[in-house]
Structure 1
Amino acid sequence: MTLVGVGLAVALFFYLRHRWRAWQITRRERVKLRALGEARVHRPVSQRILSALPGSAIRRLFRWRPERIRPTVRVARRGLLGGSIRIRPDQHILAVGMTGSGKSSTLRVLASYAIRHPRWTLEVWDGKWGVAGRLYRGKARVLTDLDEIEARLADLVHRELPLRAQELDPAHLALVLDETRLIRQLSEAGLRRLITVVETGRELGVHVWFGLQDPKAEVLPTAIRDQFSCKLAHRVQTAEAAHVVFKDAVAAGWAPHLLSGPGQVLVWEALRRPRVAYALWLAERELAALPLVGPVVRPEFEAAPVALVKASDRPSVRAEIPAQAPARTPGRTADALTDRQAQALMVLDVAEGPMGAADLARELGIERNRAHEVLAQLRRRGLIAQAADGFTIPNREERDHPHGA
C-alpha cells in the first residue's frame, strides 16, 4: 500500500508541475487575447451554457414583456439570473448586425417604448417597400416612398426644427430607419438634411434609431455614424466591420465579430464596460398588438410638408434620349461624347435645378459611383458647373465668358 501511495503522490507531483508550466507558458497569450478584445473572455459560465442553445430557445427565454414607463428602456439582460441593461431612449441609437442577428427586434423594443409613452411620437421610414412598416400601421407615421421621405426631411429642417427650438420642453419624436437602402438612394440635398437632423435634432427632441447591416463609410457617412451616443451591436461579419463601428474601442473588448451565441449583443454607451448580454426579443405580432398611447402625429407639429420637385414628376428622358447631344462649348461637338455623357447632359438640361450624383443615378438607372464618374468627366470638359446643391449646365454667358471677360 505504501508503494502505491508513494507512486500516486509522485504522479500527482509531476502532473501538477506540468500544469503549472503550461499555465506559465500560455499566460502571455491569454493576456494578449484579453488586450485585443477577445469577447469570449468576458462571458460568464452561464452565458457559455446558453450559447449552446438554439435561437428559438433564446427568444423564449429572453422575451420582451411590458413594464412601467421609466426614463430608461430595458433592451437586454446579462443572463437568466443576471440583471437588465437599460439605456436612455432620448438619444441617437445605432443597432448594427448581420441578417438574423436580432437587429430588427431591438428596434421593435425601442419602438414599443415610443408607442406606449404619451409624450413620444414614432415615425418609420421604411426602405423595404412597406414590409417593415406594416407592423406600425395605426401606431406611427409610416413613409415608404422616397419622395415622401425627401419631403419630410425638408419639412423637418425648414419648419419643425425651428418650431421645436421655440419650445422649452418639446415632445419627443423617434425616427426609425431599418434599411441602408434609404441612405444609398437619398439625393445629396436629402442626405445633407438628414445630417442636419442628426447633428441638431437631439437637443430639440428628435432622435434617430437606425438599423444597419453594413457599417462601411460608403454606406453610412461618418458625419452620421459619429453622432450615435449609444450602439447596440449584434454579431457582424468581419473584424473590419467591428472596427468601423467601434474604432479603437475594439481593443478594449468591443468586438461584435466574436459573438457566437444567438441573441448576444454588446451595449455601448459612455463609460459602460464591454459585457456580452442577450437582447430582448419582441415578436412582430406582439408589437402589432400593443395599445397606442397618444396621437400618431402631434398636433403642434402637424402641417403640410415643404413642397419639393419630385424625381417622379420630372420628365423621363431615358426613352427619349437623342443619338447625339448638342454642342455646349465652342470647339466641342457631341461626337466626342459617350452615350452616357449625352444622356446625363439631357437630364441636366431638363432638370428644374441642380442635380447630384444620387439624383442622376436614379434618373439614368445606373450606380451612384458611375454617376460620379460621368459628372466628373463632364465637368473636366467644361460642359457642366458645380453649384451649391449639385451640378448644372451653365448659361450661355458663363460658357462664352467663363472668367467675366
Structure 2
Amino acid sequence: MKVYLCLAAAVGGWFYLRHRLRTWKAVRDARRAIDAGKAAKSREAARRALTQRLHALLPDTAVSRLFGWTPERRIRPTVRVARRGPFGRYERIDPAQHILVVGFTGSGKSSTLRVLAAWAFASPRWSLEAWDGKWGASVRAYRGKCPVLDTMDAIEARLRDLVTRELPARALMAEPPHLAIVMDESRLLNELSSAALRDLVTVIQTGRELGVHLWFGLQDPKTDSVPSEIRDQFSAKLVHQLQTEEAARVALKELVSAGWSPHRLMRSGQMLIWTPVRAMSAPRVVYGLWLSAGRLAALERKGPYAAPEFARPVVLVKASARPPVRTEGAGQAGARTPGRTADALTGRQREALMALDVADRPLGAADLARELGIERNRAHDVLTQLRRRGLVAQAADGFTIPLDRQAEKD
C-alpha cells in the first residue's frame, strides 16, 4: 500500500512541477515581450528629431508664438503652411491643386485650412468659398470675406451651378481666375444626394485645369467616409496626428509601411506633407503654422472678389454706460449720450472682439491669449478695457459679446 501511495505522490509532484515550469516560461516570455516593446519605443523616440521632442514638451502658448502665422510682405505663387523647426525654413506647397488636410479634432487641421484661406484672401486673382452644412459652425470666421454656404440645399445648388454654368464658362477663358472651395466637414459627403455627389466628382476631376480647387478637411479617414474617386484626386496631403494605423493607411495607403506614420506623431501641430515629389524621399515631420479663427476674421481681404451680400462692413458701436438723459425741451425728446465707435479701438482690441464673435463659448484670458498668441496678462488687460467700454460682458465662465451688441453689429 505504501508503494502505491509513494508512486501516486511522485506522479502528482511531477505534474505539479511541469505546471509550474510552464507558468514560469509563459511569464518569462511575457516579460521579454514587454521589455522588447519598451526598447523599441525608446529606440523610436531616440530616432525622432530633437526639434520634434522639444515641440512635444512646449506649452500651447509657446507653440502658438513660435509657430504662429504672419502675413507675407509680398504674395508668392506658393503658400507656406509649416516650418521645419522654431528657426527652420518654411515648407511651401502649390495652392493651385486639390489639397486634403487630415487630422482628428484638435490636431491643427482647421488652422492649416485657415492658413490657406489667409493666403487666398491676400491674392488678387483668387476667390474663396466656404461650405458647411451644419449651420456654418465650422466656417464662422470666413463670414464677411467670402460666400458661406451653410445648408445642404445651397451646397447642392452651387454644385449644379458649377457643373452646368461656371465650368463651361471657364473653359472659354484663356486664363480663368482661381476659385478655392473650403470644406472642413467630411460628413458633407455622406449627406449629399447621389446627383450632388456626381456633380462633386465632376468638379474635382475637371476643375483643377479650369481654376477650381478643393481644399478638403477630413477628421475621420475611413474607406466609407470619402469615396475613392474623390480621395484619389488629391495631389497634396497634409496629414496631422491620427489615432490609429488604420486611419493612417486610408490617408496614405502603402506609404505607411515606408515610414509615413502620422499615428506616431507626438503632438497636435506636427504633420507630414505628401506630394508626388516628396513621396520618393524619406518622410520629414514639420510643424504647422497656427492661425486662430479670431485672427482670420480680423484680416482684411485684398482680392477683388466679394459678393455684396457677404461684404457688409462690421461696425462695432459702444453706447454710453449711463442711462439715456432726457430733457424737457419743446417737443424734443432727450437723446442717448453718444459713445465710442470701433474706429477708436486698437488692432489688438479688434482681434479680441473678432475672436469672441466667432467663438462658440465664452473665452477667458487664457483662451484669448492662446487664440491671439499673446501673453495672458496682456489678454486680461484687453478684456478689461473692452469690458469698461461696454463692448464685452463678463460671464461666469469667461467673457462674451452681449446680445444687444451683437444685434447692433448685425
Q: Is contact 1:127–1:178 with CA below 8 Å preserved after alignment?
A: no
Q: Is contact 1:39–1:276 with CA below 8 Å preserved after alignment?
A: no
Question: After superposition, where does 1:251-400 map in structure 2 within 5 Å?
Answer: 251-272=257-278, 273=281, 274-297=283-306
- Select 2:251's aligned residue among 245, 261, 282: 245
Q: Is contact 1:154–1:190 with CA below 8 Å preserved after alignment?
A: yes
Instruction: Please give the alpha-carbon distance, in whole angstroms, between the structure 1 residues aligned to 2:182 and 2:227.
Output: 17
Q: Which residue is equivalent to 1:217?
A: 223
Cα offset, 1:41, TM superposition: 6.7
- Select 1:232's aligned residue among 238, 254, 275: 238
Q: Is contact 1:124–1:140 with CA below 8 Å preserved after alignment?
A: yes
- Select 1:126's aligned residue among 104, 126, 132: 132
2:12 aligned with 1:43: no
- SS of the equivalent of 1:51 reads helix
| 1:314-340 residue CA offsets vs partner (Å, 9 max, x unmatched) | xxxxxxxxxxxxxxxxxxxxxxxxxxx
User: Runs of 4+ in structure 1 displaced over 6 angstroms?
Assistant: none
Tell me: CA distance 1:144–1:42, structure 2 relative to 1, closer, same or farther (3 Å): farther
Instruction: Please give the alpha-carbon distance, in whole angstroms, between the structure 1 residues aligned to 2:275 and 2:47.
Output: 17
Cα offset, 1:180, TM superposition: 1.5
Alignment-mate amino acid for residue 171 of structure 1? P
Q: Which residue is equivalent to 1:89?
A: 95
Tell me: CA distance 1:203–1:297, structure 2 relative to 1, closer, same or farther (3 Å): farther
Q: Which has the higher contact order (CA 8 A, sep 6+)?
A: 1
Cα offset, 1:233, TM superposition: 0.5
Root-mean-square deviation (Å): 2.2
Tell me: CA distance 1:118–1:298, structure 2 relative to 1, closer, same or farther (3 Å): farther
Cα offset, 1:143, TM superposition: 0.2
Cα offset, 1:262, TM superposition: 2.9
Q: Is contact 2:69–2:115 with CA below 8 Å preserved after alignment?
A: yes
Question: After superposition, where does 1:87-126 map in structure 2 within 5 Å?
Answer: 87-126=93-132
Instruction: Please give the alpha-carbon distance, in whole angstroms, between the structure 1 residues aligned to 2:301 and 2:158.
Output: 23
- Select 2:200's aligned residue among 190, 194, 215: 194
Extract unaligned runs of 5+ from structure 2. Answer: 1-35, 309-410
Q: Which residue is equivalent to 1:351?
A: none
Cα offset, 1:128, TM superposition: 3.2
Instruction: Please give the alpha-carbon distance, in whole angstroms, between the structure 2 residues aligned to 1:246 and 1:65.
Output: 30
TM-score normalized by structure 2? Answer: 0.62
Tell me: CA distance 1:270–1:151, structure 2 relative to 1, closer, same or farther (3 Å): same
Q: Is contact 1:266–1:277 with CA below 8 Å preserved after alignment?
A: yes
Instruction: Please give the alpha-carbon distance, in whole angstroms, between the structure 1 residues aligned to 2:200 and 2:226.
Output: 11
| 1:57-102 residue CA offsets vs partner (Å, 9 max, x unmatched) | 2122100000021010000001112211000000000000010000
Q: Is contact 1:232–1:265 with CA below 8 Å preserved after alignment?
A: yes
Tell me: CA distance 1:287–1:237, structure 2 relative to 1, closer, same or farther (3 Å): same
Cα offset, 1:298, TM superposition: 8.0
| 1:23-79 residue CA offsets vs partner (Å, 9 max, x unmatched) | xxxxxx99xx89xxx985763212212211233321221000000210100000011
2:75 aligned with 1:60: no
Extract unaligned runs of 5+ from structure 1. Answer: 1-28, 300-405
Alignment-mate amino acid for residue 212 of structure 1? L
Q: Which residue is equivalent to 1:80?
A: 86
2:142 aligned with 1:136: yes
Instruction: Please give the alpha-carbon distance, in whole angstroms, between the structure 2 residues aligned to 1:215 and 1:261.
Output: 19
Q: Is contact 2:106–2:268 with CA below 8 Å preserved after alignment?
A: no
- SS of the equivalent of 2:173 reads coil
- SS of the equivalent of 2:304 reads coil
Alignment-mate amino acid for residue 288 of structure 1? A
Instruction: Please give the alpha-carbon distance, in whole angstroms, between the structure 2 residues aligned to 1:189 and 1:42.
Output: 49
Percent of residue pairs identical: 59
Cα offset, 1:131, TM superposition: 1.6
| 1:159-194 residue CA offsets vs partner (Å, 9 max, x unmatched) | 100110111110000000000221111000000110
Q: Is contact 2:147–2:307 with CA below 8 Å preserved after alignment?
A: no
| 1:105-159 residue CA offsets vs partner (Å, 9 max, x unmatched) | 0000000011111100000001332122221112111000110100000000011
Instruction: Please give the alpha-carbon distance, in whole angstroms, between the structure 1 residues aligned to 2:75 and 2:59.
Output: 31
Instruction: Please give the alpha-carbon distance, in whole angstroms, between the structure 2 residues aligned to 1:137 and 1:43.
Output: 40
Alignment-mate amino acid for residue 257 of structure 1? H
Q: Is contact 1:69–1:117 with CA below 8 Å preserved after alignment?
A: yes
Q: How many residues align?
A: 267
Instruction: Please give the alpha-carbon distance, in whole angstroms, between the structure 1 residues aligned to 2:47 and 2:237.
Output: 18
Tell me: CA distance 1:42–1:159, structure 2 relative to 1, closer, same or farther (3 Å): farther
